[in-house]
Structure 1
Amino acid sequence: MDSAEGDGCTAPDVYLMRTGFALTADGTCIADARHHAAAFLDQAHADHQVPVPSRVRDLTQLVVSELVTNARKYAPGPVLMELRVRLRAVDIVVWDSEPAVPAARAADPGRVGQHGLEIVQAVTEDLFIEQEPAGKRITARITLDDAPSMT
């Protein structure tokens, strides 16, 4: 995981497609975020012929679920999600109002819960955390062709 001034992936000319969402504070926002991610990948495939293997689709929805869950659980206020697709990767960006930078905890099979960031680190190619004046932005990148294994 990289903690950086910038996420290293903000050049607008490298994206085939991008979209953003303001997620509501109600109990449906996590499911809505997963739905938005699936629809976005479908559109990337249809509009740009981006190959999206089912494994990448599943991992994208998992990462979206984990990041949005953490934002809803630990940050007061709004949550924003941006999805970006490039030729070989999809970026999931989640912004929340909590400025504290999260850290994955050491593996502990006996621990109940708090494995979200561990999971995200395990299934993404890159993970960037950027502190901002009013919160933080987390960017997770999943490779479209060689998605990392969850093992």
Structure 2
Amino acid sequence: MEQQPTSGPAAPEEKGTSTGVILGSAVYEMSSGKIAHTRAFVREFLLELRSRHGMNVSRRAVDTAQLIVSELATNVAKYAPGPCQVDLEVFGGLLRISVWDSGTLLPEPEQADPSRVGRHGLEIVLLACQSFSVHREPVGKRVRVEIPLHDSPGRTPA
């Protein structure tokens, strides 16, 4: 995993053509004002996959990835302000979004409650992704999600 300066994201980089893995990484000093930067980073990364690498990336994947990273970045800004690293990894038709922060509190989804105002971000992430995991790190934690890059035939939109 490469680390970029806190000034912003790196363009997608191909690592080992035999593996077909494409990586992107950005580091932010997280605050509510930086959430839009994380969305823009994801959008630009995925659009670059289309234009530079000729990959099939659906509009739904672009929108879903931006929604997910926005919700995860919002949680960082609320509960673990400080440094935040967003790593993107493309392999086998999937996008893995990994968000690291220095907070020690692990996110837990709340019981569904349509009358609750707010705090639905993790519920949204869980519904939108194909896989979800949280790992403790020597410092902080890492949340990982995966989504498909293109729509599957016969799959209906959520």
TM-score range (shorter-chain normalised) is 0.7 to 0.9
Match of 1:110 among 100, 107, 115: 115
User: What are the ranges of 5 or more consecutive residues in structure 1 without an aligned counterpart?
Assistant: 1-11
Q: Who is 2:95 aligned against?
A: 90
1:114 alignment partner, SS class: coil
Quick one: distance in 1 between partners of 2:156 and 2:123? 13
Note the 1:22-61 alignment, pairs <5 A. Answer: 22-61=27-66
Q: Who is 1:73 aligned against?
A: 78
Using the TM superposition, give the Cα deviation of residue 150 of structure 1 relative to its aligned residue in structure 2, in angstroms: 7.1
Amino-acid identity (%)? 36
Q: Runs ≥4 in structure 1, deviation > 4 angstroms?
A: 12-15, 147-151
Structure 1 residues 126 and 33, CA gap change in structure 2 (3 angstroms): same
Q: Tell which structure's C-alpha radius of gyration is larger.
A: 2
Quick one: distance in 2 between partners of 1:47 and 1:87? 17
Quick one: distance in 1 between partners of 2:70 and 2:20? 23
1:40 alignment partner, SS class: helix
Q: TM-score, normalised by structure 2?
A: 0.81
Q: Who is 1:125 aligned against?
A: 130
User: What are the ranges of 5 or more consecutive residues in structure 2 without an aligned counterpart?
Assistant: 1-14
Q: Aligned-residue CA RMSD in angstroms?
A: 1.9
1:24 alignment partner, SS class: strand
Q: TM-score, normalised by structure 1?
A: 0.84
Structure 2 letter corresponding to 1:46: S
1:98 alignment partner, SS class: coil
CA contact (8 A) 1:97 1:134 kept: yes
CA contact (8 A) 1:122 1:150 kept: no
